[in-house]
Structure 1
Amino acid sequence: MKKLILILIPFLLIFSCKTDKTEKDYLIKAYITGYFDGEVVLNKVRNGKLVPIDSLHMKKSKFKFKHVKITTPEMLWFVIDKGNFIIQFFADPHDMQINADYNNQGKSEVQGSKTHAEYVSFLENNSIFENKQFKINEQKDLAYLNNDTLLLKSLDSVSNSIVKEQIEYIKKYAYENNKSYVSLYLTLSNLTDYLKLPELEKIYNNFDDTLKTSPYYLELRDFIMTKKNVQIGKQAPDFSLSDSAGTSVSLSSMQDKYVLLAFSASWNGYSRKDNKNLNKLYKKFQAKDFDIYQVFAENNMRQWKNVIKSDNLNWITTSDLKGLDSEILQLYGIRKLPYYFFLNKNGIIITSGDDLNVLIPEIEIFF
């Protein structure tokens, strides 16, 4: 496993969308100690991204949004002072009051939301794992400075064990609290990156019918449907993307070869690290009907080309330059990078996963 679960403030992108007309209007007031005036943007979360739904200019440390549309409990974000201060909270279909301190982020008081109170309780219990990881990361920083590779490897193993414990805790919470919007949100935002499809479906099918109108439930349903289309034994969905020279290359054009379909990004450290192993794999088997089709989640053409050159990527590399909003990432249900699918000569998925070191032995048996 390659990353920690970030529950309190996950990395999100921002885009715009239309409001659901069936939602009702509520008032959300806030008082921010230590910050007098500035822009406030109210966001909701859709498909792992922040969606701005309203904005205003705060004066005298106070502001209020008068027509916030809420049907079911959901996570909202106040982005204040151009992102320097963020308030993340679960909003119920009620009027709400929020009190916060600009100099003490993460200690907001939210009144009028029972769902947020449940979320805070969950975070307090989850902090056990976060604190363990914090201590391990401190040791890893020191080991890195001392170039102690053996200790780093050992600490990585400990870190992965903590992540596994954390995942098990969230799984148990979601399954036991099947009427909870918090459980639904945590499943969508955290467990989709880690669970195999049968485990994820078990939790999804256990959710109570009262949650089925939640946008998070619908997103989870759609994600599961997408993942069903890219399971082992399925035909890999075909697509075409342009390489760095502007030439369109389809995945199906590579049939009659074993293909490693790699989803990566120039800005992703794990992807860059894996490029070294991809090079070794390519050099070892390229003469034996093996090839790589690499999809980069990029927005910057120059940065992408620089990585192709610096990492010596001599196979097919493509991108639609839409970053994490790429339709191809959505087609394959990619929510974290890097990720890999190994295809046989007919384009059938043989194996897949996010850990290249685990996949390499499975690939090598075919050559």
Structure 2
Amino acid sequence: MRKSILALFSILLLIGCSEKESSKNFVLTGNIKGLKNGTLYIQRVKDTTLVAIDTIKISGDSHFTSEFDLQSPEMLYLFLDRGVTNSLDNNIPFFAEKGKMNIETSLDFFTADVKITGSKNQELYDEYNKVVSRFVDQDLDLIEKKYNAIIAKKTEEVNKIEEQQKAVLKRKYLYTTNFAVNHGDYEVAPYVALAEIYDINLKFMDTIQKSMTPKVSKSLYGKKLNDFIAARKKEENK
């Protein structure tokens, strides 16, 4: 009898733990090697400002967990409070989606060492950034050349470099458009459209909009993109 009661208690305990684990639809785990004491914040953009939605105190153990309900896939930020300003070196963007995600990094190279797993949107966003970074590097090289040409008062060379910059920007816009169209079944598509090419010709925005699946169109960024396109059309038709 005693064994039966203990067995029943164990089953109920396991059920209780299982229910606790599934009470939130998003679970973020992670490890920041070298961090002994500090505060982490999970942030989201609200009205163009980063606001904290969860606070994690680190004391001794560099591992952390955050659980909350996520209404729609969303770009969130893991902010490390170093006692200085909210700079890029303190913030890791990650494309959160329902389920389990993991972030691994180090205290010394917080943004450079980061490895994020568990999100298909994040995986696609990483793929996108790898290509876009090439356009950014090309533009930085051209900026340096343009600066030197301006100092040397080589007007013709400055004009040539400016045309090259326009060409790089055009390639970036076309790549972003194609990326969004080819991944219309993921929320990263409307996100990059809004974040990277919001001022592109409306015909390209229309193409991206039509490529979104009904699920994505009803998501956080899908709705924002639909509203944005409607507002631009209204403004341009005045």
- Give the TM-score normalised by structure 2: 0.77
Q: Which residue is equivalent to 2:103?
A: 98
Residue 95 of structure 2 aligns with an amino acid whose one-letter code is: F
Residue 62 of structure 2 aligns with an amino acid whose one-letter code is: K
1:72–1:213 contact (8 Å) kept in structure 2? no
Q: How does 1:259-270 map to 2 (within 5 A)?
A: none
Q: How does 1:195-234 map to 2 (within 5 A)?
A: 195-232=200-237, 234=238
Deviations 1:33-52 (A, max 9, x none): 34433332211235655343
Q: Are 2:68 and 1:68 aligned?
A: yes
Greater RCO, 1 or 2 (C-alpha within 8 Å, sep 6+): 2
Write the distance in 1 (CA, Å) between the matches of 2:106 and 2:153.
40
CA positional deviation for 1:206: 2.1
Q: How does 1:1-367 map to 2 (within 5 A)?
A: 24-46=24-46, 49-60=49-60, 62=62, 64-80=64-80, 81=82, 82-83=85-86, 84-104=89-109, 105-193=111-199, 195-232=200-237, 234=238
Deviations 1:82-127 (A, max 9, x none): 4242111111211222111233324311122222122112222223
Percent of residue pairs bearing the same amino acid type? 22
Write the distance in 1 (CA, Å) between the matches of 2:38 and 2:161.
43
CA positional deviation for 1:188: 1.5
Q: 1:152 to 1:37 in 2, by over 3 A?
A: farther
CA positional deviation for 1:28: 1.3
Q: 1:140 to 1:47 in 2, by over 3 A?
A: farther
Q: 1:26 to 1:175 in 2, by over 3 A?
A: closer
**Alignment gaps of 5+ in structure 2:** 1-22
**Alignment gaps of 5+ in structure 1:** 1-22, 235-367
Where 2:198 maps in the other structure, the secondary structure is: helix
CA positional deviation for 1:158: 1.1
Write the distance in 2 (CA, Å) between the matches of 1:169 and 1:48.
26
Which is further off, 150-159 or 215-224?
150-159
CA positional deviation for 1:168: 0.4
Q: 1:39 to 1:146 in 2, by over 3 A?
A: farther
Q: 1:96 to 1:146 in 2, by over 3 A?
A: same
Q: 1:149 to 1:49 in 2, by over 3 A?
A: farther
Write the distance in 1 (CA, Å) between the matches of 2:230 and 2:149.
43
Write the distance in 1 (CA, Å) between the matches of 2:222 and 2:179.
16
Aligned residues: 210
Write the distance in 1 (CA, Å) between the matches of 2:36 and 2:187.
34
Which structure has more helix as a fraction of its residues?
2
